């Protein structure tokens, strides 16, 4: 599937031009970053889902100083996170805000969203839950999602740091794209896989505590007072997270 | 060193009874959880530091809705985090607060602090920076701290989930306690060590963006609306993070 076909198939699912473009931008970004599991293959996957409502719109249901709670209200998680990013850039935190999103799935490549915030000069930490796919390292069935943690750090040179770490050895997207088998979906870390499992569990219960037990997202955005902008000098010549 | 000697030596460093007890509680908790590197061995280490001011007190220098910034102001990081925990429990977030601590080192076993918040019914995510000890997985000298991430989830049965994951294969405390060599101080994850390095780097720059380039801590506390209190039923028979 090429870019044109991708956009056409999103329109054919009933999304309006703005939402089709938002979804395309995410999938295309993933393709260009070599994360095919979050790329165009997800359009074929969306076409198989029985209850996608292309007209659904996320709702900001609670707004307090330093806190917002949104509800996907039937919209795809991608569109909910895009709406949150847009609202955050339009009205930045002063200096910090926690944003919780309920009924927010799928959320895709979380680095895509924190990059957007970093491009607007905002520091962000984002996690989101997904279906249980990772078993406890000792034994048993899948218990927790791959629950990635993404961190975006603005940079004056336009090359933000974008960390985006799934707690799985592979992603479910890798499995969907045929790049890995379901048996590879275990916490990463080898003989220290208990660490990635613990992070996945902690992040999952953090989200559930704030967003309920349906899939959700938890975002912290800060208008950072200090700018560790020398980080490329501190790490000379190294490929840093988010570099293309 | 036994408990009585530990407390006596803390008093001998000049700490008043309350601070000596706070420090002892942390080190003793670490000993009892098998984390000797964060335990009594740290008292011997404190005795070697040239500039510990036992009379220093942390200062809350900025207070805004949903945000606080503290400065250790010469106090040990343990005492700064204890003061933050006490203030947070005394005036819980409504419903969320980001707390940044500048000049906050050493912070010890971060699980100790999120456990205290979880025991008070609060969800917490905490990270803190420390001296560069982890190299990039490819090559080079130590660049980032072991920068642990701790997450505490309250539980109605008094057994909170306490995740506390260092991004190092071993902790510097393990090295101090003679349980590991400095060469083991690399990002955890084996062939996926780039993931733990990315997390350590992201957490470090997150803290630095909010607290400046000296060592600091970054805490998010939420009075969670939902209680995923069934988690022990979902994970039957498993040892979960924080269980003793």
pLDDT at A228 exceeding the cut of 90: no
Strands annotated E in chain A: 59-64, 67-71, 96-102, 123-128, 134-135, 142-144, 149-153, 161-165, 217-222
- Chain B, residues 41-60, CB within 8 A of chain A, namely none
Residue B178 is predicted with a pLDDT of: 84
Chain centroid offset of residue A29 CA: 12
B206 and A225 Cβ atoms separated by less than 8 Å: no
Of all residues in chain B, the percent with pLDDT exceeding 90 is 81
Residues A84-130: pLDDT tens digits? 999 999 999 999 999 999 999 999 999 999 999 999 999 999 999 99
Does A30 reach chain B within 8 Å, measured CB to CB? no
Burial of A52 (0-12, 13-18, 19+ CB in 10 A): middle
Region B197-203: what's the mean pLDDT?
A: 98
pLDDT of residue A236: 83
Neighbours of A53 (CB within 10 A): 11
Residue-level pLDDT at B244: 79
Higher-scoring residue by pLDDT: A122, B177: A122
Task: Spell A136-172 as b/e; 16+ CB within 10 A means b.
Answer: bbeeeeebbbbbbbbbbbbbeeeebbbbbbbbbbbbb
Please check the confidence at residue B229 and state whether its pLDDT lies above 80. no
Confidence of residue B238 (pLDDT cuts 50, 70, 90): confident
Establish if A66 touches chain B: CB-CB under 8 angstroms: yes
pLDDT for the residue numbered A214: 93
pLDDT of residue A234: 83
Q: Is the pLDDT of residue B227 over 90?
A: no
pTM above 0.90, yes or no: yes
pLDDT (mean) for B77-87: 98
Closest CA to B79 of B101, B57, B53: B57
**A136: nearest CA partner in chain B:** B238
The span from the CA of A37 to the CA of A45, in Å, is 11
Residue of chain A nearest B203, judged by CA positions: A151
Residue A183 touches chain B, beta carbons under 8 Å = no
The residue length of chain B stands at 244
The contacts of residue B67 (CB under 8 Å, 6+ apart) are: A66, A95, A96, B97, B98, B99, B100
A179 SS3 class: coil
Between helix A41-48 and helix A17-32 the angle, nearest 10°, is 130
Instruction: Determine the average pLDDT of the residues in A201-225.
Output: 96
A201 touches chain B (CB under 8 A): yes
Q: In this prediction, what percent of chain B has a pLDDT beyond 70?
A: 100
Give Cβ neighbours of residue B85 (< 8 Å, ≥ 6 apart): B113, B116, B117
Higher-scoring residue by pLDDT: B105, B235: B105
A210 touches chain B (CB under 8 A): yes
pLDDT at A227: 82
Q: Which two tokens stand for residue B93?
A: 């977030």
Residue from A168, A206, A216, A232 to probe the interface with B (highest B Cβ count within 10 Å): A206
- For residue A169, which residues of chain B lie inside 8 Å, CB to CB? 192
Residue B182: per-residue pLDDT: 85
Partner residue opposite A241 with nearest CB, options B161, B188, B198: B198
If one counts every other C-beta atom within 10 angstroms of the C-beta of residue A64, the result is 14
Check whether B37 has a pLDDT greater than 90: no
The pLDDT of residue B241 is 94
C-alpha distance from B70 to closest chain A C-alpha (Å): 14
Chain A interface test: which of B195, B237, B238, B241 (most A C-beta within 10 Å): B195
Spatial separation of the C-alpha atoms in residues B201 and A50, rounded to whole Å: 40
pLDDT of residue B177: 73
Could you tell me which of B241, B206, B26 has the C-alpha nearest to residue B116? Answer: B26
Chains A and B form CB pairs within 8 A to the count of 171
Smallest Cβ–Cβ distance between B228 and the set A94, A208, A241 belongs to A208
Q: What is the pLDDT of residues A136-193, one digit of tens each?
A: 988 789 999 999 999 999 998 889 999 999 999 998 878 877 889 988 899 999 999 9
CB contact under 8 A, B206 and A64: no
pLDDT > 90? residue A73: yes
Q: How confident is the model at residue A16, as a pLDDT?
A: 97
The verdict on a CB contact (< 8 Å) between A199 and B165 is: yes
Q: Do A143 and B208 touch (CB under 8 A)?
A: no
- Cα–Cα distance measured from residue B173 to residue A237, given in angstroms and rounded to the nearest whole number: 30
The overall average pLDDT reported for chain A is: 94
The nearest CA of chain A is from the CA of B46 a distance in Å of: 29
Q: Which two tokens stand for residue A37?
A: 């599991």
Mean pLDDT of A232-242: 86
Q: Cα–chain-centroid distance for residue A190? A: 24
The C-alpha atoms of residue B78 and residue B73 are separated, in whole angstroms, by 13
- Give the model's confidence band at A33: pLDDT under 50 very low, under 70 low, under 90 confident, else very high: very high
Give the separation between CA A210 and CA A126, rounded to whole angstroms: 13
Which domains are present in chain B? 55-234 (3.30.1370.60)
């Amino acid at each position: 599937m090429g870019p044109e076909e991708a956009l056409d198939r999103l329109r054919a699912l009933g999304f309006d031009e703005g939402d089709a473009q938002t979804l395309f931008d995410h999938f295309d970004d993933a393709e260009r970053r070599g994360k095919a599991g979050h790329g165009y293959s997800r359009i074929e996957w969306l076409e198989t889902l029985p209850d996608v409502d292309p007209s659904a719109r996320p709702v900001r249901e609670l707004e307090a100083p330093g806190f917002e709670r949104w509800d996907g209200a039937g919209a795809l998680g991608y569109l909910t996170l895009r709406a949150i990013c847009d609202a955050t850039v339009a009205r930045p935190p002063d200096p910090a805000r926690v944003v919780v999103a309920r009924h927010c799935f799928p959320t895709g490549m979380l680095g895509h969203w924190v990059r957007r915030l970093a491009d607007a000069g905002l520091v962000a930490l984002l996690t989101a839950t997904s279906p249980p796919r990772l078993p406890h390292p000792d034994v048993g069935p899948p218990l927790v999602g791959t629950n990635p943690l993404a961190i975006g750090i603005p940079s004056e040179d336009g090359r933000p740091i974008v960390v985006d770490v799934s707690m799985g050895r592979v992603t479910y997207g890798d499995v969907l794209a045929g790049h890995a088998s379901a048996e590879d979906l275990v916490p990463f870390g080898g003989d220290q896989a208990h660490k990635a499992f613990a992070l996945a569990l902690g992040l999952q219960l953090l989200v559930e505590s704030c967003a309920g037990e349906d899939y959700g997202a938890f975002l912290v955005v800060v208008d950072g007072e200090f700018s560790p902008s020398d980080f490329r000098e501190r790490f000379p010549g190294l490929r840093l997270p988010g570099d293309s």
